[in-house]
Amino acid sequence: MAVLTYRDALTQALREELQRDDRVFLMGEEVAQYNGAYKVSKGLLDEFGPMRIVDTPITELGFAGVGVGAAMVGLRPIVEFMTWNFALLALDEVVNAAAKTFYMSGGQFKMPMVFRGPNGAALQLAAQHSQAWESWLAHIPGLKVLTPGTPADAKGLLKSAIRDDNPVVFLEGEMLYNTKGEVPEGEHIVPIGVAELKREGDHCSVITHGKMVLVAMRVADDLAKEGINIDVVDLRTVRPIDVEAISRSVQKTNRAVVLEEGWEICGMGSQVVDFIQRECFDDLDAPVLRVHQEDVPMPYAKNLERAAKPDAGKTIAAIKKVMYLD
Amino acid sequence: MATKVVMEALSPTMEEGRLVKWSKNEGDQIKSGDVLAEVETDKAVMELVARGDGVLRKRLANEGDASPVGTLLAVIAAPDENIDSIVGSAAGAAAPAAAPAQPAPTAQADKAAEPAATPAAAETKEAAATSSVPRSPSQSQGEASTPPPQRTAGPAPGAPPRPAPPAPPRAPSAPAPPRGNGSSRPPAPQAGGRQRTSPLARRLATEKGIQLGGIQGTGPGGRIVKRDIENAKATGGAAARSAAADRLATEGDFKDVPLTQIRKTIAKRLAESSGPIPTFFLTAEFDATRAAELRTQLAEMGDQYKVSFNDIVIKGVALALAEHPEVNAHWLGDKIRYFNRIHVAMAVAVEDGLITPVLFDADRMTLWDISGKARDLAKRARERKLTPEEYTGATFTVSNLGMFGIDQFTAIINPPEAGILAIGGVEEKPVVIDGQLEVRQRMRVTMSCDHRAIDGATGAKFLQTVRGFIENPLSLII
């Protein structure tokens, strides 16, 4: 199997879907001539031309709306946001138009479109450009929200997203683009709404998604040296959430830590903990703990930024706490 | 990581234990499972084992001290680990005893200077500083009486604390309020009057038939967690009940018969008339001449064949129970449980009381098996060396005071068992047999029956069968 970067896996998915279905097109800031701000669309303008790979002005609300209209008349747009921080300007189109049109038209208009781009913090991009939005978006009925953490999932889920007839929010990561992993060639589809047990252990469940999957895997390696074996449940999709996969794991380990990139209050972890207390009450030997960004705007200073982010150390401490080891 | 050694509930009913002897000294290297001390419970002398690895850093109880279950007895930790807070919290818990209660702010100034108040004050200050962070077990002992605000919304451990919440109404420098009567018992499980138990631990305890009341939780705030249930099974303690329950509750080993209306009415009316257990007594005199002859003959064959009257009676009772399962029963309030297996307990007098070790499956033991086992159990009972599993789980009890020169007595039923047989001494008496006066060895037995489960005729038939075995003792050997 080929080893690809997360970035190349996305490019491969885009290329294959653009080839497979000529209703699919990509638009966004710098996606065409500049090959994408993060080079995800590299080479696509040359291959598919300016009708399918479309540069837009710096008008998030505008081109998101164009995407909604295109989807309503039968095209399958992929709208790239340079980052999800900029997508705040387009949220009316995402939340009020894309997510609701199928419902409010009585099913007359499908909304087969994808909103994609990097989400969450990179390094020292400061408070306005270091935010993880998945819990905002997962809050909205009518949207599907995908958060691949590995190159293989990035490819497989993007293909599923493009083929889905509903508006799909696809959250990538600047810090993920250069990560590498084995990616199946060709028709590799990861179904929406299905979590994956990325590591198996009996002692504790770590439930996570997106970029934090890498942290969880590192934690699993570190703890294995101490004889602690954890389940790493990668949700992959945060709406809809694979509750069954969570329950299966927690019922086995009797304890859980929920790890996410975003803030604590009303974060994805809040929802996961709710599922756990409902589905696994009699299986719990300890309260479920959460690891997340500190409840502050992301600091710019390097040391403070590091202290504010969720990381392996905090995750290990939480795991030991729910195992009553500290 | 430091491990706190606490007085554990080593028997189902234990509330307090006396530390008989330390088996390890301060500074000794300890591995989990090592015996740390011998502890005298209400029933026996048991071993207290280590639940963690490290060095025995501090012993907090002296030999001979009696401590309530849960009291911190010692600390196991790494050689260089700071255990002041753990040892200090034990001192803090004891502080109110030394410094009488005075939470009133006006008294604060004088009291703050008192050394006894210092550990508690330090603890409280720490609580204020980290109040939104879930606290570690070693800190948690004092938590129940000083719940920090926002316990449910704590950020991840290791995270810097949030801005300190407004000071709690109780001034931080005030010593912890007095707990109970100022005993050194850790306050956690008692503070709210409610034992904290993880949902999983609660479920496992139910599944295994373990009573949570006898278990000391090792989680934060004294919470009973999964490992406590597992340890309870391993160490006896509350698990004795479970082992006994397992033994008695094996599927197919008994038959539960719901009470019929007439049975219910009999139970209710008789209980009203005669106290919680409406007991009646059946007395019979057995001819033990042949049993005595058998004993003599066996003794002549050699020491290994020797048996006592008690052994003969137990064997006879066990075989009779096999023929009368309606007597081999427990009264369980809403039903009567008839056992298929026969576990006969024998009352053994020990200093300050008595204990009833059990001969399991006594009907299947040979007379010599019973003899050897009974002697061993009695000896160890007097030495207080029985494990809880050895004195719980009986289906019927035999009590013998013959060796004390008692002709006849009535024994008190050990609930939920439905009957008990009291054995008097064997003595020579003149009796009329076929019109002739003869001197025979006679033995008087009295059976106490729980009338709710056993009726007069039922008990009488059972005694008749016992008589048959005792008076024809060869039947006990073949």
A22 and A44 both lie in a single domain? yes
Burial class (CB within 10 angstroms; exposed 0-12, middle 13-18, buried 19+) of B395: buried
- Residue B174, pLDDT score: 39
Segment A174-183 mean pLDDT: 96
A60 and A110 both lie in a single domain? yes
Closest CA to B476 of B349, B316, B361: B316
Give domain status of residue A122, yes or no.
yes
- Residue B13, pLDDT score: 67
d(CA A140, CA B7): 54
Asked if residue B126 has pLDDT above 80, the reply is no
B285 and B391 both lie in a single domain? yes
A202 and A162 both lie in a single domain? no
Domain boundary among B183, B218, B246: B246
Q: Which single residue is written with the structure tokens 């795991």?
A: A319
d(CA A27, CA A224): 45
A48 and A173 both lie in a single domain? yes
B223 and B332 both lie in a single domain? no
Segment B318-331 mean pLDDT: 94
Look up A129 and say whether it is catalytic.
yes
- Residue A29, pLDDT score: 97
Q: Which single residue is written with the structure tokens 């683009």?
A: A177
- Residue B235, pLDDT score: 54
Q: For residue A306, what is the DSSP state?
A: H
Q: How far is B222 from chain A (nearest CA, A)?
A: 12
Segment B341-357 mean pLDDT: 87
Q: How far is A310 from chain B (nearest CA, A)?
A: 9
d(CA A157, CA A189): 6
- Residue B15, pLDDT score: 78
- Residue B300, pLDDT score: 92
Q: Three-state DSSP class for A51?
A: coil
B116 and B203 both lie in a single domain? yes
Asked if residue A47 has pLDDT above 80, the reply is yes
Asked if residue B405 has pLDDT above 50, the reply is yes
B213 and B293 both lie in a single domain? no
B387 and B265 both lie in a single domain? yes
Interval A272-284: pLDDT, tens: 999 999 999 999 9
- Residue B91, pLDDT score: 53
Which H or E run includes B263?
A: helix B261-274
Q: For residue A149, what is the DSSP state?
A: -
Give contacts of B153 with chain A, Cβ < 8 Å: 264
Domain boundary among A183, A210, A233: A183
**Low-confidence winner among A101-105, A185-189, B177-181, B296-300 (lowest mean pLDDT):** B177-181
Q: How many CB atoms lie within 10 A of CB A61?
A: 15
- Residue A160, pLDDT score: 98
Give contacts of B156 with chain A, Cβ < 8 Å: 289-292, 310, 314-315, 317-318
The total number of structural domains that make up chain B: 2
Q: What is the CATH number of the domain that holds B378?
A: 3.30.559.10
Asked if residue B453 has pLDDT above 60, the reply is yes
Segment A22-44 mean pLDDT: 97
What confidence category does residue B41 fall into, taking pLDDT thresholds of 50, 70 and 90?
Answer: confident
Asked if residue B262 has pLDDT above 90, the reply is no
The H-assigned helical ranges of chain A are: 6-20, 44-48, 60-72, 91, 101-104, 134-138, 151-163, 212-225, 243-253, 268-279, 302-308, 312-322
Task: List the structure tokens of B79.
Answer: 């050689």
Cross-chain Cβ contact A282/B160 below 8 Å: no
Q: What is the CATH number of the domain that holds A216?
A: 3.40.50.920
The residues pairing with B443 across neighbouring beta strands, listed in sequence order, are: B286, B426
Asked if A187 reaches chain B (Cβ–Cβ under 8 Å), the answer is no
- CA distances to A22, A34, A36, A63, A115 from A55, in Å: 18, 9, 9, 10, 15
Strands A2-5 and A180-183: antiparallel
Give contacts of B160 with chain A, Cβ < 8 Å: 294, 307
Choice between B13 and A15, residue whose per-residue pLDDT is larger: A15
pLDDT over 90 percentage in chain A: 99
Which residue range is the domain that position B285 belongs to?
A: 254-477
Cross-chain Cβ contact A285/B157 below 8 Å: no
The total number of structural domains that make up chain A: 2
Asked if residue B258 has pLDDT above 90, the reply is no
Choice between B138 and A207, residue whose per-residue pLDDT is larger: A207
Query: Which one is catalytic: A60, A93, A174, A196?
Result: A60
Strands A180-183 and A144-146: unpaired
Q: How far is A311 from chain B (nearest CA, A)?
A: 10
A235 and A156 both lie in a single domain? no
B232 and B260 both lie in a single domain? no
Choose the closest CB to B200 out of A283, A290, A295. A283
A175 and A200 both lie in a single domain? no
Which residue range is the domain that position A234 belongs to?
A: 196-322
A26 and A171 both lie in a single domain? yes
Q: What is the dihedral of CA A256, A262, A265, A269, to 10 degrees?
A: -20
B103 and B119 both lie in a single domain? yes
Give domain status of residue A188, yes or no.
no
Asked if residue A205 has pLDDT above 80, the reply is yes
Choice between B185 and B474, residue whose per-residue pLDDT is larger: B474
- Residue B188, pLDDT score: 42
Q: For residue B221, what is the DSSP state?
A: G
Cross-chain Cβ contact A285/B203 below 8 Å: no
Comparing alpha-carbon positions, the chain B residue that sits nearest to A309 is B159
Interval B103-119: pLDDT, tens: 444 444 444 444 444 44
Segment A150-161 mean pLDDT: 98
What confidence category does residue B94 fall into, taking pLDDT thresholds of 50, 70 and 90?
Answer: very low
Task: Kindly report the average pLDDT of chain A as a whole number.
Answer: 97
Segment B76-99 mean pLDDT: 67
Segment B254-260 mean pLDDT: 80
Which H or E run includes B245?
A: helix B239-249
Comparing alpha-carbon positions, the chain B residue that sits nearest to A260 is B156
d(CA B225, CA A317): 19
A210 and A123 both lie in a single domain? no
Asked if residue B266 has pLDDT above 90, the reply is no
Domain boundary among B212, B246, B280: B246
What confidence category does residue B424 fall into, taking pLDDT thresholds of 50, 70 and 90?
Answer: very high
B327 and B349 both lie in a single domain? yes
d(CA B208, CA B226): 12
Comparing alpha-carbon positions, the chain B residue that sits nearest to A291 is B156
A163 and A298 both lie in a single domain? no
- Residue B184, pLDDT score: 39
Q: How far is A294 from chain B (nearest CA, A)?
A: 7
Closest CA to B97 of B179, B165, B31: B179
Written as one letter, the residue type at A157 is L
Q: Three-state DSSP class for A144?
A: strand
Give domain status of residue A107, yes or no.
yes
Domain boundary among A150, A183, A216: A183
Give domain status of residue A189, yes or no.
no
d(CA B16, CA B39): 10
B408 and B263 both lie in a single domain? yes
A133 and A212 both lie in a single domain? no
B232 and B262 both lie in a single domain? no
Asked if residue B123 has pLDDT above 90, the reply is no
Comparing alpha-carbon positions, the chain B residue that sits nearest to A319 is B157
B323 and B230 both lie in a single domain? no
**Which of B4, B225, B227 should be substituted to probe chain A, the one whose Cβ sees the most A Cβ atoms within 10 Å?**
B225
Interval B136-193: pLDDT, tens: 434 333 333 333 344 433 444 444 444 444 444 443 343 444 333 433 334 344 444 6
- Residue B250, pLDDT score: 57
A113 and A63 both lie in a single domain? yes
Domain boundary among B246, B263, B295: B246
**Low-confidence winner among A165-169, A172-176, A183-187, B212-216 (lowest mean pLDDT):** B212-216
Radius of gyration (Cα) for chain A, nearest Å?
A: 19
Give domain status of residue A281, yes or no.
yes
Closest CA to A237 of A154, A316, A178: A154
A168 and A144 both lie in a single domain? yes
Give domain status of residue A191, yes or no.
no
Q: What is the CATH number of the domain that holds A159?
A: 3.40.50.970
Sheet holding B66-68, edge to edge: B45-49, B35-40, B16-22, B66-68
What confidence category does residue A155 fall into, taking pLDDT thresholds of 50, 70 and 90?
Answer: very high
B327 and B397 both lie in a single domain? yes
Task: List the structure tokens of A153.
Answer: 């999932």
Domain boundary among A149, A183, A217: A183
Task: List the structure tokens of A57.
Answer: 């002005």
**Low-confidence winner among A136-145, B246-255, B258-267, B310-319 (lowest mean pLDDT):** B246-255
Q: Three-state DSSP class for A310?
A: coil
Segment B86-103 mean pLDDT: 51
pLDDT over 90 percentage in chain B: 35
Choice between B43 and B163, residue whose per-residue pLDDT is larger: B43
Which H or E run includes B355?
A: strand B353-355
